[in-house]
Structure 1
Amino acid sequence: MCSISFMFLFSISVSLFVLGLSYIMYDYVVFIEWEVLSINSLNLVMTFLFDWMSLIFMSFVLMISSLVIYYSKEYMESDYKINRFIMLVLMFVLSMMMLIISPNLISILLGWDGLGLVSYCLVIYFQNVKSYNAGMLTALSNRIGDVALLLAIAWMLNFGSWNYVFYLDYMFDFFEMKMVGCLVVLAAMTKSAQIPFSSWLPAAMAAPTPVSALVHSSTLVTAGVYLLIRFNMMFSISWLSNVLLLLSGLTMFMSGMGANFEFDLKKIIALSTLSQLGLMMSILSMGFYKLAFFHLLTHALFKALLFMCAGAIIHNMNNNQDIRLMGGLSSVMPLTSACFNVANLALCGMPFLAGFYSKDLILEMVLLSYMNMFSILLFFVSTGLTVSYSFRLLYYMMIGTSNFSSLNLLSDEGWVMLKSMLGLMIMSIIGGSILSWLIFPSPLVIVLPLSLKLLTLFVCVIGGLMGYFLSNVSLLFFNKAFYFYNFVYFLGSMWFMPYISTYGIINYPLKMGSLVVKTFDQGWSEYFGGQQLYLNLLKYTQFNQVLQNNNLKIYLLSFIFWIMILFIYMYIY
């Protein structure tokens, strides 16, 4: 089933990419309306939107998912229920397709909820307590966004149609649509894990690695960014864009800091995804939606590759994810290490790799824009932190000798996994330049002073040196982090967000709900309400049943009773 799915998805991906190129060239936008049902004056119509953006994004999603499914053929080969796993992944991709081509809030909700539901099934795929907890946190965090989207649908009734695409040009002049804008931003923030909804994203690492490669590159977490790209007109509401800029900038900084103190390989890559999502959201809130889309596509390529390489390494290390127990992998797993390093350098923004074209352009546009100093600081410090944790990862995994067990048979994985990784590595090298030529056909010249032009490069070099030397050098043979343990613990635990999310937001309200149910629904109100009514009805029914029995004494007694009542009535009146 893996091979068939791979061939099918990959062929559709190539055809959609070619179609997307023609749409860019001729500037086409096509709406397809399918009339599902027509009863009298009621028309139930399904609308699909095909433009260069949706076609190219679909092409990328299908290409990455096809390679992930091909990769799963070997990664999940010991799983007896591999077909069930492939079906779940295909449902996941189908939900994403639904979300991408929908210009209608109702059909977007179908894809949106499909993503949430299937992601829950995939996160709890390895059935253990940790997976269940992670799945519940993921599902409950995403439910907030689902409710916000439902409220947005209700507010859209003021306009007579849910096809928001037709109203985008003038919709934000009205109070109702400002409300819709706020709700859509809230929904996007939950799906793309911005502060204060960030804790579910590293927790979702409980899913199998191929799922992580798909979720964190082009599907679930990018759904919020893509929705905001479609609603880009609403950033004319200045306070909304300012709030989103602040929160996404803090997300970027927080995740970059957290990754520098993390030792779980998959969680480090998850936090780097969170950092890049913050970058996309922040540039989007400034109004550069094409740049956000460009970075979304390039990021999808190298992030999927990063997760695939991490999966191959974890597979080889006997399911160990702690980077402190790795080392010297470049000599024993050369091809996997090469792919991993290319993806890592693309993430850092190494010149002429995929990440460079989008990240460098974004940072230069930030410098060119009318921005406050705090936001610029968040952008550049977060970029430095990205390079810092990437080089820290490089030090722990590639350099020195292995810290794992003495008996380990490390080698490059089988050719099935390597082929899918090499395919993505080629795209991570050439993808950025190809996309920049397609999305920005006329060359853009950003004129800045030499010091600002070199600032991005300078920040990257400083960040890389910090990451490498602080991992390598032990000052006076003592880890200085122990001097500031509470501060380091605060930074490394995502500003206590997982604890606040689980204990504060989920645990206590659920306990309060349980208390309310026990005291009210199953307590006094039940005793004097429903239960009392039931007992009284039961008593009267039993009495009535006795009367219905064919007993002459009872009939005589009742006859005498009614005669007495009649006499009393006649005596009174």
Structure 2
Amino acid sequence: MLWSLSICFLSFCVLFVSAISLVITGLYFAMNELVYFIEWEVLSLNSGQIIMTFLFDWMSLIFMGFVLFISSLVIFYSDEYMGGDYNINRFIILVLMFVLSMMFLIISPNLISILLGWDGLGLVSYLLVIYYQNVKSFNAGMLTALSNRIGDVALLMAIAWMLNFGSWNYVFYLECACKSVEMLIIGWLVVLAAMTKSAQIPFSSWLPAAMAAPTPVSALVHSSTLVTAGVYLLIRFNVLLVDSIQGTTLLLFAGLTMFMAGLGANFEYDLKKIIALSTLSQLGLMMSILAMGLPKLAFFHLLTHALFKALLFMCAGAIIHNMKDSQDIRYMGGLSHQMPLTSMCFNLSNLALCGVPFLAGFYSKDLILEMASLSYINYFSFILYFFSTGLTVCYSLRLVYFSMSGEFNTFGLHPLNDEGWIMLRGMLPLSIMAVLGGCMLSWVLFPSPDMVCLPFWLKTLALSVSGLGGWIGYELSQNRVGHGLWVLRNQFISSFVGLMWFLPFISTYGVSAPSLVLGGKTLKSFDHGWSELMGGQGMYSFFSFSSKITQKWQNNDLKTYLVSFTLWVMILLFLLSF
């Protein structure tokens, strides 16, 4: 136990100090507009060289700093949350491997090294999702792994196409070759890879399933690591999305993802799944603003979202921990009386998610909506943006009303308390950043203020939609609207919306079940059948029989030799007589 405590505390200290150092270095790089390429010659053989290249600019350094800052607090928080686990040291090592894979992906300007970090994230995420070793975890882990394989194959194909340029360092070819056919194909493949990793439609079903992982892992995955890898990759490849068919397609799918996740969260009662669907909605927002050609704004929202989403998951973990592993929000209620400090952090992160003025989410989210109003986009995308914003506030306030207000809805004798000081110490620094982070980042990323000039009704549309969404969320939580509307009482519509438009059945179960049956038949007939008969087992039988015959001849048994020779001569004479 002492060793597990020391590895948690040591990891926290190292990651926290590294995070502060990287953020300060990133700010220095941003102010002086520095970009460093570091090349490490791994192997040189005759004229061939294997060179590992690292890219250090303000974006990679600040993002690494944020990832390490959140990871350090998650590991510190895990010391109490995972305190009952005898193998907590194994858990911490897996989390550190996860963070290391993300670091590798962030600083790679090369598709080969990106694939190493990309696959590292996929492998370690599978190990973390199945950490609890039960049937639900195994199914969720397999779903996550198989869904992400599609993106891995797309990235491998992009690596093969990059050979047309003679190098895998994509950063040198984006500007000059963005209109070539090769780069067009690479753009499609990278967009496909990013859509699978960031769970856009039709690959969305694995994200809520991955909630089978421990809550500290969910806090890390949904804030700054796994699901943000696709967004970060497209930020680097953003030149390919401007005024192209890839950008238009991505805008459509990202908008639908945002809308579908926001709608589904209003029908969900699992605390962690509601927050997972909110992550999916925010990923759709980042992807859509990326498709419109505003990578800096997408990066801004990526960082602010990481702060309050990690806090939201950590608060949810503290509530689940105190509720003795119950995640149903219908069993909660009145938590603000029992866990006031946790409730304060929870409400703070929820309000930041809603984009309440002067919290972290407001600075990025309001700017994104204003830029969407200012841009040349069609009515459909415009409606999706603002309707999804209203849905975000709707499910957030519904969640607050269900869990925080009213009466406690389970046993009278309960263990709820706010005495988990290690978990609270992990949450409080993120609470401060959820308030101040957006303001500080806006000055760093946009030092020169720009005027967004809009009519009054467009300028106030985001706040108006948010207010309307909050009121509908309150009415839904009181079941006033639900009983009155036929749409919400219709079983098919409720199932359709609550099950993410039947995406799990279409994109995973519907595809994987026939594939697994076909794979089983192929395995039985080919691998265990003809290939065994004509391959390993057949060769073994043939050589075994031949060696026995040879051994028999080598025994120099004259009687056996003479008898067999006589038999063969008699058979030959008999045949010749005809």
Among 483, 489, 492, the residue aligned to 2:495? 489
Matched residue type, 1:546 = K
Counterpart position of 1:295: 301
Query: Which residue is equivalent to 1:105?
Result: 111
Residue 451 of structure 2 corresponds to which residue in structure 1? 445
Q: 1:147 corresponds to which residue?
A: 153
- What code does the residue aligned with 1:461 have? G
Q: How has the CA–CA distance of structure 1 residues 154 and 419 changed in structure 2, closer, same or farther, with 3 Å as cutoff?
A: same
Following TM superposition, by how much is the alpha carbon of 1:475 offset from its aligned partner in structure 2, in angstroms?
5.6
Alpha-carbon distance in 1 for matches of 2:273, 2:441:
29
The alpha-carbon distance between structure 1 residues 33 and 545, as it changes in their structure 2 partners (threshold 3 A), is: same
Which among 329, 346, 350 is matched to residue 323 of structure 1? 329
- The residue aligned with 2:3 is none
Task: Report the CA distance between 1:560 and its aligned residue.
Answer: 6.1
Task: Indicate if the aligned counterparts of 1:316 and 1:413 stay in contact, CA closer than 8 A.
Answer: no
**CA separation in 2, counterparts of 1:538 and 1:9?**
60
Report the alpha carbon displacement of residue 367 of structure 1 after superposing the two structures with TM: 0.8
Using the alignment, how far apart are the partners of 2:17 and 2:266 within structure 1?
40
| Alpha-carbon distance in structure 2 between the residues aligned to 1:360 and 1:325 | 34
Once the two structures are superposed, residues 74-110 of structure 1 have per-residue CA deviations (whole angstroms, 9 ceiling, x without a partner) of: 1111111111111111111110000000101111111
SS at structure 2 position matched to 1:522: helix
Structure-2 separation of matches of 1:530 and 1:411: 64
Task: Measure how far apart 1:2 and its partner are.
Answer: 1.0
- 2:450 match: secondary structure: coil
- Cross-structure match for 1:180: 186
Q: How far apart, CA to CA, are the structure 2 residues paired with 1:350 and 1:260?
A: 19
> Deviations 1:2-59 (Å, cap 9, x if unpaired)?
1111111111111111111111111000111111122221221111100000000001
1:237 CA drift (Å) = 5.5
**Is residue 262 of structure 1 aligned with residue 287 of structure 2?**
no
Matched residue, 2:15? 9
Aligned counterpart, 1:433: 439
Q: Find 1:132's aligned residue among 116, 127, 138.
A: 138
> Match of 2:71, as an amino acid?
S
Residue 567 of structure 1 and its aligned partner are, at CA, apart by 11
Q: Which letter does structure 2 place at the counterpart of 1:113?
A: D
**What is the letter of the counterpart of residue 230 of structure 2?**
G
Q: 2 CA distance for matches of 1:181 and 1:337?
A: 44
Distance 1:271 1:381 in 2: 16
Paired amino acid for 1:410: L
Pairing 1:50-65 to 2, within 5 Å after superposition = 50-65=56-71
Tell me by how many angstroms 1:554 deviates. 3.7
Cα separation, 1, equivalents of 2:75 and 2:535: 56
Partner of 1:230: 236
Counterpart of 2:505 (choices 489, 499, 515) is 499
- Matched with 1:457 is 463
Q: Are the counterparts in 2 of residues 387 and 467 from structure 1 also a CA contact under 8 Å?
A: yes
Q: How does 1:379-390 map to 2 (within 5 A)?
A: 379-390=385-396
1:515 CA displacement? 1.4
Once the 2 structures are TM-superposed, how far is the Cα of residue 219 of structure 1 from its aligned partner? Answer: 0.4
TM-score (norm 1): 0.95
Indicate the SS of the match to 2:53. strand
Q: 1:355 aligns with which of 361, 364, 377?
A: 361
Match of 2:520 in 1: 514
Deviation at 1:548, TM superposition (A): 3.2
Structure 1 residues 238 and 482, CA, compared in 2 at 3 Å: closer, same or farther?
closer
Instruction: Give 1:67's aligned residue.
Output: 73
Residues 294, 358 of structure 1: 8 Å contact kept: yes
Q: CA RMSD in A?
A: 2.2
Count the aligned residue pairs: 569
For residue 408 of structure 1, what is the amino acid of its counterpart? H
Provide closer, same or farther for how the CA distance between residues 441 and 528 of structure 1 changes in structure 2, counting only shifts above 3 A.
Answer: closer
Which of 18, 26, 41 is matched with 2:47 structurally? 41
Could you report, residue by residue, the CA deviation over 1:395-444 in whole angstroms, capped at 9, with x for unpaired residues? 10111100011211321142211111111000000000110111011101
- Distance in 1 (CA, whole Å) between partners of 2:70 and 2:120 is 19
Match in the other structure for 2:427: 421
Question: What SS is found at the alignment partner of 2:301?
Answer: helix
Specify the alignment match of 1:406 in structure 2.
Answer: 412
Structure-2 residue corresponding to 1:121: 127
Q: Structure 1 residues 185 and 314 mapped into 2: Cα distance closer, same or farther (>3 Å)?
A: same
Counterpart position of 2:553:
547
**What residue is the counterpart of 2:173 in the other structure?**
167
Partners of 2:99 and 2:312 lie apart in 1 by 20
- Determine the structure 2 residue equivalent to 1:369: 375
Which of 41-50 and 521-530 deviates more? 521-530
Provide the secondary structure at the position in 2 that maps to 1:318. Answer: coil
Distance in 1 between the 2:456 and 2:502 partners?
40
Distance 1:481 1:27, change over 3 A: same
Residue number in structure 2 paired with 1:571: none
* Amino acid across the alignment from 1:93: V
Are residue 217 (structure 1) and residue 223 (structure 2) matched? yes
Moved more, 552-561 or 67-76: 552-561
CA offsets, 1:161-187, max 9 Å, x none? Answer: 111111111122221111111111111
Give the partner amino acid of 1:441.
Answer: P
Aligned residue among 312, 320, 335 for 2:318: 312
2:349 maps to 1:343:
yes
Question: 1:312 touches 1:413 (CA, 8 Å); kept in 2?
Answer: no
Of residues 537-546 and 103-112 in structure 1, the stretch that sits farther from structure 2 once superposed is 537-546
**Deviation for aligned residue 1:555:** 3.4
Residues 242 and 291 of structure 2 are in contact (CA less than 8 Å); yes or no, is this contact kept in structure 1?
no
C-alpha contact (below 8 Å) 2:482/2:489 kept by paired residues: no
Q: What is the SS of the residue equivalent to 1:171?
A: coil
Residue by residue, what CA displacement relative to the aligned partner does 1:535-560 show, whole Å, maximum 9, x if unpaired? 55544444444333322234335666
- Alpha-carbon deviation of 1:564? 9.2
Q: Does 1:30 align with 2:36?
A: yes
- Contact 2:147/2:508, CA 8 A, preserved across alignment: no
Q: Equivalents in 1 of 2:43, 2:539: separation in Å?
A: 46
CA distance in 2, matches of 1:296, 1:25: 21
Which secondary structure state, in structure 2, belongs to the residue aligned with residue 22 of structure 1? helix
Q: What is the distance in 1 between the residues matched to 2:75 and 2:310?
A: 12
Q: Name structure 1 gaps, 5 residues minimum.
A: 569-573
AA aligned opposite 1:401: E
Once the two structures are superposed, residues 334-383 of structure 1 have per-residue CA deviations (whole angstroms, 9 ceiling, x without a partner) of 11111100100000000000000111110111111111000111111111
Return the letter of the residue paired with 1:221: V
Aligned residues of 1:298 and 1:432 also touching (Cα < 8 A): yes
Instruction: Give the 3-state SS of the residue equivalent to 1:173 in structure 2.
Output: coil
Q: Which residue of 1 aligns with 2:340?
A: 334
DSSP 3-state at the match of 2:37: strand
- Counterpart of 1:499, as a letter, is F
**Contact 1:91–1:118 under 8 Å retained in 2:** yes
Q: Distance in 2 between matches of 1:567 and 1:215?
A: 82
Aligned-partner SS, 1:467: helix
Is the contact between residue 476 and residue 482 of structure 2 (CA under 8 Å) also seen in structure 1?
no
Match of 2:4 in 1: none
Normalization by structure 2: what TM-score? 0.94
Matches of 1:56 and 1:476, distance apart in 2 = 45
